[in-house]
Amino acid sequence: MPSVYPGLDILQNTFGSSYKPKTNGATPLQARTDLYPAYSIVDDAKSKAKKLSAEAAHEFDVASQKAQAKTGHIELYSSQYYAACTFGGLMACGITHTAVTPLDLVKTRRQIDSKLYKGNFQAWGHILRHEGVRGIYTGWSPTFFGYSAQGAFKYGWYEYFKKKYSDLAGPENAHKYKTALYLSASASAEFLADIALCPFEAIKVRMQGTIPSQYKGTFDGFSQITAKEGWGGLYKGLYPLWGRQIPYTMMKFASFETIVEMIYNRLPGAKSDYGKAAQTGVSFVAGYAAGILCAIVSHPADVMVSKLNAYRKPGEGMGAVTSRIYKDIGFKGLWNGLPVRIVMIGTLTGLQWMIYDYFKVFMGLPTTGGAAPPAEKPAQHS
């Protein structure tokens, strides 16, 4: 088929043999970086980002090798392994929960009094004007101590119970009923973790729920509560805390493990074919998705915990105070503050799994989830 455009020989015959097409090495559709300096700036930024990323990865590898040289090779499911998982959980939960204290502060206050603020940004502006920057982070210290302890117990015990229950069930049943395994292991771990969290949660809610805060800090809260109410005052919210946290953690771990497996099943190759950054990226995505489900499942109990720690009268029974609170707020009130909590918990859970798995990689351990099914036994011929 003849070309619609004239060839070079026709152009030279028409305009003379001196005609030579201008060439600058670029195709007609290719942008010229000399005319558009923004392209060179973007390319320069990309190259710098790649260089920084490579340097950061190198520093991570060097630090990881030093840490592994000090600890030695950590055998899976050894006491060292569970200790590493415990410390990883401490870092993952303590850091992330403390970072979102401003979100948690507004959520808690709106749960206690839905008419206090019109919206989240209005709330932060109001707190900033009347209480200063320090007011935005009211309750950070019991949050840090409480959720560091809770994270250590939760992740460490989860790894222990998951292995324990898998051994009891056997390899085939453990894989066949893996979701039930994740649910039971996470429920067992959270039951213990909440015993560590509860005193700090009581102090945090009281600090955040009163304006101005009635305690100067965590230790002041401990001393005042125990002096007035005894040690039982720190644990009066334990049952609703279990009611909030156990379903939350069951959803968090079971859905995370399931989503991670789904992601790797849809990616080409096996999990082992992907590098550290890719695997921890999968952990973040799966963790964020799991966090959204966690927030929805546990939100009514979260509202009740906030209300109970603020409004429960001395000597009042659990059933009586729960009925009184529900009568005041109704079913709709149980969902107050859910959008904020979805953002908060989604981000929290995604970051927690990413930090936790990064620490496991740092210590030379595999990331969580996505394990291959057990090999089938060869058929025995008679």
**Whether the predicted pLDDT of 259 surpasses 60:** yes
Q: What is the pLDDT of residues 2-27, one digit of tens each?
A: 555 566 666 566 666 555 555 555 55
Number of domains observed in the structure of the chain? 1
In a domain, 378, yes or no: no
Q: How many CA atoms lie within 13 A of 2 on its CB side?
A: 4
d(CA 327, CA 167): 47
The DSSP-derived string for 120-159 is HHHHHHHHHHHHHHHHHTTTHHHHHHHHHHHHHHHHHHHH
Q: Does residue 287 lie within any of the structural domains?
A: yes
The more confidently predicted of residues 361 and 27 is 361
Give tens-digit pLDDT for 128-179: 898 888 889 999 999 999 999 999 999 999 999 999 999 999 999 999 999 9
Residue 315, domain member (yes or no)? yes
- Identify the domain containing residue 94 by its residue range: 73-361
What are the C-alpha distances in Å from 162 to residues 56, 156, 215, 247, 371?
Answer: 33, 10, 39, 17, 13
pLDDT bracket for residue 382 (50, 70, 90): very low
The verdict on residue 127 lying in a domain is yes
376: in domain: no
Q: Is the pTM of this model over 0.85?
A: no
Count of Cβ atoms closer than 10 Å to residue 375 Cβ: 7
Alpha helices in the chain (DSSP H): 8-15, 37-71, 79-99, 101-112, 120-136, 140-169, 171-176, 178-209, 218-229, 238-266, 276-311, 318-333, 338-362
| Assigned domain for 309 exists | yes
Contacts (Cβ under 8 Å, ≥6 apart) of 158: 85, 185, 186, 189, 253
Give the Cα separation of 270 and 261 in Å (integer): 11
Whether residue 332 is contained in a domain is answered as yes
**Residue 298: CATH number of its domain:** 1.50.40.10
- Please indicate, yes or no, if residue 68 is contained in any of the structural domains: no
Confidence of residue 112 (pLDDT cuts 50, 70, 90): confident
